[in-house]
Structure 1
Amino acid sequence: MHRQLIARRALLGALLTGTFFAAPGVGADGFSIERATWSTDRDRLVVRGEGADDDRVTVVNAYAPNQVLGSDRIDDDDWRVRTRSPSPVPCRIRAILSDGTTLERDVRRAPTDCAPKSASEPPPPVPDITVADVVASEDSGSMTFVVSLSVTAEQAVSFEYATRNGVAQADDDFIEANGTLTIPAGSLSGNITIGLVDDTVSEPIEAFTLELSSAENAVLADSVATGTILDDDSGNPPPPPPPPGTGLSINSTSANEPLAGLPASPVPSNDLLNSGTHALLVANDLGMHCADLDYQIFSILPPFNVVHAQVLLRGEEPQILDDTTIDVVYSATSSDNDPALANKTAAQRGEPVFKGNFWEEMAVLNDPGTTLPLWYQVYSPLFFGLLQPADLVQDQGLPVPESMKLAGNGIEPSCLTTADPRAECQLLQAWMPGNLDPYVVNDQQRFDRFDHDVNFFNGLLGGLGLGAVIPDTNWFAAEGVAIMPVDDEGRSNAYPLMRVQAIDKATQQVVASTDVVLPVASEADCQSCHARAMDCATITQETYGYTMACTEEALDRHDLADLGGVMTLDGDDLGALPPGDTLEQRLLNTAKINILRTHDAKHGTTLDSRRRVVCASCHYSPALDLAQLGPTDSAATEQTQHISMSRAMHGHHGDLFAKDNATASLFPNMPAPNDPIRLQPVANHLDLYPLAGDSEQTVEEYVLQQSCYSCHPGKRTDCLRGAMASAGIVCQDCHGDMLAVGNDFSHDFPNNAGNIDTGKRVPWAVEPGCQSCHVGDATSQPGDTSGFIYAADSIRLLRAYRTGDVDATPIRATGSRFSENRIVNDQNQPVDVLYRLSKGHGGVMCEGCHGSTHAIWPNGNPNANDNVAAIQIQGHAGTISECTVCHETDQLSASTQDGPHGMHLVDDRRFWREAHKDAAKRENGRPNGGTCGSCHGSDHRGTVLSRTPVDRSWSVESRNRTVAAGEPVGCDVCHSLDKSFER
């Protein structure tokens, strides 16, 4: 600790003083700068040198030392610092050793616009402006926002401010205000006071925002504050407290770190900035990505996350902007209310921070003289020669081809058939924000691709009506972000946040920010069946925050002796021990080794002797088919000769029975959603579920955990967690049971290589959509409803397929106002586009307003990270439903019904005071009450489709009308139903 303190003081001194010795490139004790080179082609600066092991070197711009370019710990007498896109590119760099020793060197091949050209006095610091949130009771008469400067300024600082409506409305709840505030030179703060309207009406907690803009002589670091108004006419409960825990859960790097190497504080977040001129909608593509923690034995999935973002210029008709005017970047951030703060840190467990070994170099097992990174050993077979051992460094993701360069792009031959496919396929890779100095920096990383269109397996599945070039997606894409489900303090956190920000290319100013979840989990409980029960018992609640009960169902083979027997934490019959740095890692690897040995014994393979196996090299997985080739045989793959990964996992396991009870399914089927036993104790139904024993779960909970959640992340991760989960929908209600999911196109592959059954399910392409349950509205439903299981509202379905359909074929209600896009591809085949690839109102991606698949907004936990984005965007959780997010609504017609799914203006006084009257009179003369009846019902009393996401209040004819969150808005809220039917 003492040495670290001295080193930090030395570094600070070297940065701030200008009167020190700076040798040209060689110092005492072997400290040197061997090279400092700029590469224009790679947009990268590389600085290398030598020194004494374990010292840390920090590199800065020699003539602007506040520009820190990176740092590195000296290892094997070498150190290296790499930085991408520094601004500016330095003309000369300075390397600062831990003890304060400094060296300098000119940057070789520095561009002509490198800067500064020479040493000069540093300019005075520019103040950051921040404004704090305020909470006040309405009877206090006003609330005061305190605006602070980070440092005193030599000149007066001025900026404009304006209030913006939230749930609290100007004139009804607070006095609208705008103007200019000036903070005199030498001062550190100023105040903005907003008047409050005190009334006698009982109201919920309401809020509005104060926005700052157009700053002079300072930088807006935090330009938006929330004013929360507490009602004095009723006892409102306070907001829910944050969960227990300490520190922040932030995930900036996927590097491992011994506890002794962790910095005293987490990496800082970049400031949350919003100009008010743009909207930024962001979503993860799947709602859950999975990744192995350990790659030494075998791997199912790599660290690979995908984020899409759309930037809209607000106005009467918002414009979706592209990469000609906007850059989009991401960096790590956190939430004070993150439920993961309750999880144990690595320090509390007494373990190092282990995030994974994806980038670790290890000897090739059958060629011990060769050392290669694990990612290459495992995943190179799936890249068919395009992947090279030097392609990835720590925190860098797998390369992703431009989809429009692949087969079926409709423009040119596949890039894979060209002379230089690595270049022609435009492979891009994503970075973790801490890649340049893990646990220290949190650098913004660019969304490297803007997809005008997306090729979804058109060359492979277009002829089947399952693939197409999806036109006009118009989103920024960050693909292959290598994030792991462990935060920087070693906590398990499957829902880390990234701060996505839109930057105006002309001004280089951030115009919008949104925090989004990059979901990732490693919870695939192979141990439950493939590890010894006494080994699983070592995972204790006290240390790990959960327990694990293992059944040993898969440890009954008697032909493993020649393979080493069953692997346990204590080793196997040959004395070998399971590898791993943590107890969880070693337990996982015992199960993985046992799986390979069982596979070898059953199928005559030699997987355990090779290890570093990726299952998809034999069992095709569309999720890993980045080249969109379909099942392919090569020197390293045999995908046409074996059933797919989906069939191997779902079909095989779904047909297994307990070894002690031949009639008891290990992975039982889920009762129908209208079967009353689902919510009854499973202990009351042991005739159906004899393995339940003394379980205290309901039938629904028990079956879900014994089936889908035996492998998918659910028992601890709650993968299915959004609005569907809150409504009681489970995996089987959308996808069917395991045998239905596993009954796919590859069933004949072992007998007839590559013989695709086009009548069977294609994983990744044949999936349920919104229209599978949201088949219509309150007055319009499909003609053929046979096999439908309706919810109590008689509008929505509880299951996405018809009763009696053993294949669980998704219902397609293409006439529904809630259906996904249907397009005709270039092979003249109609294609029902997946929800995650569909768009709606104004070309906005569906996930931008509704949230990611499996995590449809809102999450039922008010503190969940999933809810953060919607709250930031519109002020409350749930579907983005406030028109003001993108529109200047006063520029729109008050009577418009051109909103999403045919919506009128939401919470707009022009509409509910006057315009809705004319609309009602017009629509009442039409069948089923016209468009009003579609959502409010033919009786005008309101339906599930007219529910309000937050408390709404209206002042009508001098009376206040309120509808609580979750309640339907009907015409009789404000006046008689008879009046609502007037024509």
Structure 2
Amino acid sequence: MHRCIMSPRYLPGIVFSSFIFAVLPASADDDFSIDRARWDSERSRLEVRGDGHDNRTITVLNAYDPAQTLGSDRVDDESWRIRVSRPSPVPCRIRAISSDGQALERNVSRAPANCAPKSAQEPPPAPVTLQVDDVTGSENAGTLAFTVSLSAASSQPVRVEYATRNGSAQAGENADYLETNGSLSFPAGTTSASVSVSLVDDQVAEATESFRLELSSAENATIADASGTATIFDDDQIDPPPPPPPPSGPSVSINSTSANQEGALPISPVETQDLINTGTHALLVANDLGMHCADIDYQVFSILPPFNVVHAQVIERGGEPRLLDDSTMEIVYSAASSATDPALANKTAAERGEPVFKGNFWQTLPGDQYPLWYEVYSPLYFGLLQPPEPALDQAGDLVQDKGLPVPDSMKLAGNGVEPNCLASADPRSECGLAQSFMPGFMEPFVVNEPQHFDRFDRDVNFFNGLLGGLGLGAVIPDTNWFSAEGVPIMPVDDQGRSNAYPLMRVQAIDKATQQVVASTDVVLPVASEADCQQCHARALDCAAIQQEVYGYSLACDEEALDRTDLGALGGVMTLDGDNLGALPPGETLEQRLLNTAKINILRTHDAKHGTQLDSQRRVVCASCHYTPALDLAQLGPTDSAATDQTKHITMSRAMHGHHGDLVSKTDSSVTLFPAMPAPNDPIRLEPVANHLDQFPLAQGSQLTVEEYVLEQSCYSCHPGKRTDCLRGAMASAGIVCQDCHGDMLAVGDDFSHDFPNNHGNIDPSKRVPWAVEPGCQSCHIGDAVNQPSDTSGFIYAADSIRLLRAYRTGDASATPIRVPDSRFAENQVTNDQGQTVDVLYRLSKGHGGVMCEGCHGSTHAIWPNGNPNANDNIAATQIQGHAGTITECTVCHETSQLPDDTQGGPHGMHLVDDRRFWKEGHKDAAKRENGRPGRGTCGSCHGSDHRGSVLSRTPVDRSWNVEGTTRTVAAGEAVGCDVCHSLSKSFER
């Protein structure tokens, strides 16, 4: 039905003769309308605006060519607006669609004669596309010319912006080429033009280098190929240095298998999959914790198995990117390596004169009926783990390079959908057990076969309702990630080097074509650095570990020895044996030394508690001391034929609480594990030798107070002396473990303290290990103008925006600060008991449903890592061209299809490094926001004074041309309005 409507620009009662005939009206109801659709020929810009319901999204299309999306905007203050610079073609008529389903149309006033299509029946003109070719040349050529071409001659003039981007060749200091940006014009009827870039011909011999020319903001054409690569060959000849001696093994650190060496190793490392990225998809990948730990040897006792977890999300790039699921994509992983891996400095097993030993998790030792994986971990599977039965020709659940089975969390208790699978008649089948493999499965050291992510988690059940609720967990909706759980990787590469940061190449495969569309190399971090030896082994034995052989040395203090009489149990175990003549088991010196400490721990436990663990061995601590880390069944503390968890304190309380209470053997007035001074205490960075009154056991130490306390507390057991568990942005900022988690007594003060007296009596006022943890919001409490009202006990950083500690001063329990309305807060959900649950960072998601870790990196390893060669930096560099948080909108978006003044990005961000924004869009945003408190959203990051803040720092060097002048902001520098113009101009309204 056609309706005749009057333009709302005219006052009621005025007669006019022009009528607009529309299939759809310009006003659907009293709240949704199109007030204007106008072409501005001077600015080559289309402006559409109207009214609507707050928080709904309005998308504007070409009414006669719905494939042309012009932009979208979220309704704010009951109004919306979209500006599109140089659309191609200019539409004759537009359609606005509200997210509630309403749709309106309106003719574009002042539309040019060549607007298209002219009607719904007229087919849209075939698009003219742009592409830029690659180019090569010698450094002494003077210039390199990129050819930019059109797919066909256009009847209209075509214009496109261009800018150079650094690759291995750099502009700026020690330049390889001169930065170039500007616009390129194609008169009507032409199909080719060129951009010349000047090269710097120095006298330095260099490797072949490259940089890129990128196209953007095309007018009267679309961009088919936005990037061309320039390859520069060096022309400087110098006498090459003498070749290095041939290496004893392959010069790559790659980890394809967790098998031990049997016989000679292959001459060459395993082959890697090609790194393929088609540009059509983004692949975001992250390990869940930032560091996993695994025992090297399992024959005495075990704390943790080889068990790594990696999540991935695939995004189809476009104006409106889409998260893809397992209906169209499959994800695989295989071993990868980096030529700049710092681990290459470590000695190979051959250089140490040893075979490659990665662990004995899958071995069956003499006298044992079953392999160690079953002997140790079957108690935690409550009868579900099947051992090998050779007589029945059954291999069992695990074989070499195959990890522990993991149930589907949404089939366990508290899933809110269906009964607990563990209570079913066939739990092995009903629980959806999945297992992950190493890429060398079946042919270790020979093959590198891509292994599948076996699960796509639409939702995740994280201990929902466990322990009577406690606000512990919930069903986390819409996680929408591919998951590989239980990857059995060890911290030793295929040549026997120690490498805690091995790489896996994760690849997204289109199911329809079976072609790889995206690849990302990600670290699967794993460490075996649980240094029980420091206290539980003889100092003389520890001295056998030499820096020149193993890359580290051990200095042990014997603090745990000789406190308890072990004479009746064989005495203290040493590398030379015990009082009964028994020797520590193990194939390598490191293995035997670790086992001396483990045996001494079991004997001490037996002597103090009347157990018989040393004679039993093959012990998993969690069979008595519950830990959520190994509660794959999500049952909580459970008693069974093989577990006794409700009568004993948790593993966290046993380790942190017990050890945190210990005093020195030689001076009972001195705490053995000292407390860390507050982050604003200047003594942290001073030599501990200057503060022996506070740290009397530090006599002779060359460390700072901070380093000494870390090594004597957290790093006595957790990776930190040789392996950096805490690394990345937080470590670079000087944050340490205690700043987030509190001291050992705070961490150990959990819900289980009354278990020995009243079995299973949970204290809901205490923390729950692995679940009650600080979040981003605990320190990132607000922005430059929005801060919490109650700041008591806060320790602010120098920027007065962020905190240096995640809990309030004076809080002995180190309860994490929660600021749920911070723009940096994690998600909140409601569990099945009606409790509001603060979701952990590693389970939270943000912009567009993307997992937080996908853009920021893993917990404990937030991007970037301060070492530019670190494997942690590779994923972000592959995804966006530089290390650090994923900030480039072009990773997922075709930004030309977004409004130039949008603030709909992550945490309310505007477009990044986008010519349309800094040339036009930011002006409109500033005028809109300046009248609001604190200068509105602009002030939130750039400060109410518009001079910039820590939140407006650029991760890389940025340059842009303003009114004929190039403005440059260096990496790490805050962007303020006065970079380009006066501050007074920025406050105009």
Place the TM-score, normalised by the shorter chain, in its bin: 0.7 to 0.9
Whole-Å separation in 2 of the counterparts to 1:441 and 1:900: 41
Q: 1:919 to 1:163 in 2, by over 3 A?
A: closer
Match of 2:561 in 1: 555
Amino acid at match of 1:643: I
**1:311: Cα distance to partner?**
0.1
Whole-Å separation in 1 of the counterparts to 2:214 and 2:359: 43
Say if 2:493 and 2:499, in contact at 8 Å, map to a contact too.
yes
Whole-Å separation in 2 of the counterparts to 1:647 and 1:745: 9
Match of 2:473 in 1: 467
Q: Deviations over 1:515-555 (max 9, x none)?
A: 00000000011000000111000000111111100001111
Give the 3-state SS of the residue equivalent to 2:568 in structure 1.
helix
Whole-Å separation in 2 of the counterparts to 1:927 and 1:392: 61
Match of 2:257 in 1: 253
Whole-Å separation in 2 of the counterparts to 1:268 and 1:140: 39
Say if 2:282 and 2:316, in contact at 8 Å, map to a contact too.
yes
Whole-Å separation in 2 of the counterparts to 1:193 and 1:711: 63
Match of 2:593 in 1: 587
Say if 2:210 and 2:229, in contact at 8 Å, map to a contact too.
no
Say if 1:641 and 1:750, in contact at 8 Å, map to a contact too.
yes
**1:559: Cα distance to partner?**
2.2
Say if 1:163 and 1:208, in contact at 8 Å, map to a contact too.
no
Whole-Å separation in 2 of the counterparts to 1:266 and 1:890: 44
Match of 2:729 in 1: 723
Match of 2:377 in 1: 379
Whole-Å separation in 2 of the counterparts to 1:261 and 1:881: 47
Match of 1:458 in 2: 464
Amino acid at match of 1:140: G
Give the 3-state SS of the residue equivalent to 1:510 in structure 2.
strand
Specify which of 821, 826, 837 is matched with residue 827 of structure 2.
821
**1:824: Cα distance to partner?**
1.6
Specify which of 768, 772, 780 is matched with residue 778 of structure 2.
772
Whole-Å separation in 2 of the counterparts to 1:911 and 1:811: 36
Give the 3-state SS of the residue equivalent to 1:831 in structure 2.
strand
Match of 1:198 in 2: 198
**1:955: Cα distance to partner?**
0.7
Match of 2:143 in 1: 141
Amino acid at match of 1:604: G
Whole-Å separation in 1 of the counterparts to 2:700 and 2:982: 55
Tell me whether 1:354 sits opposite 2:360 in the alignment: no
Tell me whether 1:274 sits opposite 2:277 in the alignment: yes
Match of 1:32 in 2: none
Whole-Å separation in 2 of the counterparts to 1:833 and 1:135: 53
Q: Deviations over 1:930-963 (max 9, x none)?
A: 1000000000000000000000001111111100
Say if 1:164 and 1:209, in contact at 8 Å, map to a contact too.
yes
Whole-Å separation in 2 of the counterparts to 1:684 and 1:926: 52
Tell me whether 1:597 sits opposite 2:599 in the alignment: no
5+ unaligned residues in a row in structure 1: which ranges?
Answer: 1-130, 146-161, 178-191, 212-222, 233-243
Match of 2:290 in 1: 287
Give the 3-state SS of the residue equivalent to 2:469 in structure 1.
helix
Give the 3-state SS of the residue equivalent to 2:565 in structure 1.
coil
Say if 1:174 and 1:196, in contact at 8 Å, map to a contact too.
no
Whole-Å separation in 2 of the counterparts to 1:899 and 1:304: 35
Specify which of 315, 330, 336 is matched with residue 318 of structure 2.
315
Match of 2:238 in 1: none
Whole-Å separation in 2 of the counterparts to 1:515 and 1:132: 25
Query: What is the aligned residue count?
Result: 792
> In terms of Rg, which structure is larger?
2
**1:498: Cα distance to partner?**
0.1
Bigger drift between 820-829 and 960-969 goes to 820-829
Match of 2:60 in 1: none
**1:488: Cα distance to partner?**
0.2
**1:195: Cα distance to partner?**
5.2
Q: What pairs with 1:133-532 in structure 2 (closer than 5 Å)?
A: 140-142=142-144, 166=165, 173=180, 196-198=196-198, 207-208=211-212, 227=230, 247-258=251-262, 260-363=263-366, 368=367, 370-389=368-387, 390-461=396-467, 463-532=469-538
Say if 2:939 and 2:946, in contact at 8 Å, map to a contact too.
yes
Q: Deviations over 1:278-317 (max 9, x none)?
A: 0000000000000000000000000000000000000011
Whole-Å separation in 2 of the counterparts to 1:739 and 1:438: 44
Specify which of 879, 902, 906 is matched with residue 873 of structure 1.
879
Tell me whether 1:794 sits opposite 2:786 in the alignment: no
Say if 2:335 and 2:505, in contact at 8 Å, map to a contact too.
yes
Q: What pairs with 1:661-672 in structure 2 (closer than 5 Å)?
A: 661-672=667-678
Match of 2:914 in 1: 908
Whole-Å separation in 2 of the counterparts to 1:227 and 1:336: 22
Q: Deviations over 1:742-788 (max 9, x none)?
A: 00000000000000100000001100000000000000000000000
Q: 1:175 to 1:894 in 2, by over 3 A?
A: closer
Whole-Å separation in 2 of the counterparts to 1:848 and 1:745: 32
Q: Give the TM-score taking structure 1 as reference length.
A: 0.78
Q: Give the TM-score taking structure 2 as reference length.
A: 0.77
Tell me whether 1:747 sits opposite 2:749 in the alignment: no
Whole-Å separation in 1 of the counterparts to 2:278 and 2:874: 19
Say if 1:288 and 1:521, in contact at 8 Å, map to a contact too.
yes
Match of 2:27 in 1: none
Q: Deviations over 1:727-749 (max 9, x none)?
A: 00000000000000000000000
**1:694: Cα distance to partner?**
1.3
**1:463: Cα distance to partner?**
2.7
Say if 1:135 and 1:143, in contact at 8 Å, map to a contact too.
no
Give the 3-state SS of the residue equivalent to 1:658 in structure 2.
coil
**1:658: Cα distance to partner?**
1.1
Report percent identity of matched pairs: 76
Give the 3-state SS of the residue equivalent to 2:557 in structure 1.
coil
**1:227: Cα distance to partner?**
4.5
Tell me whether 1:575 sits opposite 2:577 in the alignment: no
Match of 2:539 in 1: 533
Match of 1:89 in 2: none
Whole-Å separation in 2 of the counterparts to 1:400 and 1:862: 35
Amino acid at match of 2:346: N
Whole-Å separation in 1 of the counterparts to 2:949 and 2:210: 25
Whole-Å separation in 2 of the counterparts to 1:493 and 1:144: 42
Whole-Å separation in 2 of the counterparts to 1:890 and 1:171: 26
Say if 1:462 and 1:468, in contact at 8 Å, map to a contact too.
no
Match of 1:924 in 2: 930
Whole-Å separation in 2 of the counterparts to 1:879 and 1:558: 50
**1:823: Cα distance to partner?**
1.4
Q: 1:674 to 1:226 in 2, by over 3 A?
A: farther
Say if 1:408 and 1:414, in contact at 8 Å, map to a contact too.
yes
Say if 1:142 and 1:194, in contact at 8 Å, map to a contact too.
no
**1:566: Cα distance to partner?**
0.5
**1:207: Cα distance to partner?**
3.6
Whole-Å separation in 2 of the counterparts to 1:964 and 1:933: 21
Say if 1:255 and 1:355, in contact at 8 Å, map to a contact too.
yes
Q: Deviations over 1:437-459 (max 9, x none)?
A: 00000000000000000000003
Match of 1:180 in 2: none
Specify which of 598, 613, 619 is matched with residue 619 of structure 2.
613
Whole-Å separation in 2 of the counterparts to 1:517 and 1:424: 32
Q: What pairs with 1:13-28 in structure 2 (closer than 5 Å)?
A: none
**1:661: Cα distance to partner?**
1.4
- Aligned-pair RMSD on alpha carbons? 2.7
Amino acid at match of 2:953: R
Whole-Å separation in 2 of the counterparts to 1:893 and 1:804: 48
Give the 3-state SS of the residue equivalent to 2:535 in structure 1.
helix
Give the 3-state SS of the residue equivalent to 1:646 in structure 2.
helix
**1:907: Cα distance to partner?**
0.2
